[in-house]
Amino acid sequence: QVQLVESGGGVVQPGGSLRLSCAASGFTFSSYGIHWVRQAPGKGLEWVAFTRYDGSNKYYADSVKGRFTISRDNSKNTLSLQMNSLRAEDTAVYYCAKDAVLVGSGPYYFDYWGQGTLVTVSS
């Protein structure tokens, strides 16, 4: 069955960096685009970033552009989110979510989500 497992969350000081990972299994990872979506405590969902199935196209929310970098390693079935210059407002649970469409250019709808990893930016 499809599984997405996020890791790498933790507590970091403002201005610091953190790298999140999403380990995928149960499907052909190299054939699907993957997204990062976050949710601040008690708030709604916010789309963060997307990488196409082959890593050729990437898109970012304005709130993270220039600070966050999404990448993927199709040989290891792993998605990453490098987060630099972190701010208090980046505090959230970060989810990875899979595109439902095979080798598409998108955007498309999601079908599966991971369980999330909590990032806390605080001094």
Partner 1 sequence: DIQMTQSPSSLSASVGDRVTITCRASQGISNYLAWFQQKPGKAPKSLIYAASSLQSGVPSKFSGSGSGTDFTLTISSLQPEDFATYYCQQYNTYPLTFGGGTKVEIK
Which positions lie near partner 1, rule CB under 8 A?
35, 37, 44-47, 50, 59-62, 95, 97, 100, 106-116
Pairing state between β 18-25 and 110-113 = unpaired
In angstroms, what is the minimal distance from the CB of 98 to partner 1?
10
Tell me the closest approach of the beta carbon of residue 75 to partner 1, in angstroms: 26
- The residue type at 52: R
**Least distance to partner 1 from the beta carbon of 66, Å?**
14
For partner 1, the closer of residues 55 and 106 by Cβ is 106
Nearer to partner 1, 13 or 105 (CB): 105
User: Smallest gap, in angstroms, from Cβ of residue 109 to partner 1?
Assistant: 4
DSSP string across 25-85: ESS-GGGS-EEEEEE-TTS-EEEEEEE-TTSS-EEE-TTTTTTEEEEEETTTTEEEEEE-S
Between residues 83 and 116, which has the closer beta carbon with respect to partner 1? 116
φ/ψ bin of 44: left (φ > 0), alpha (ψ from -120 to 50), beta (otherwise): beta
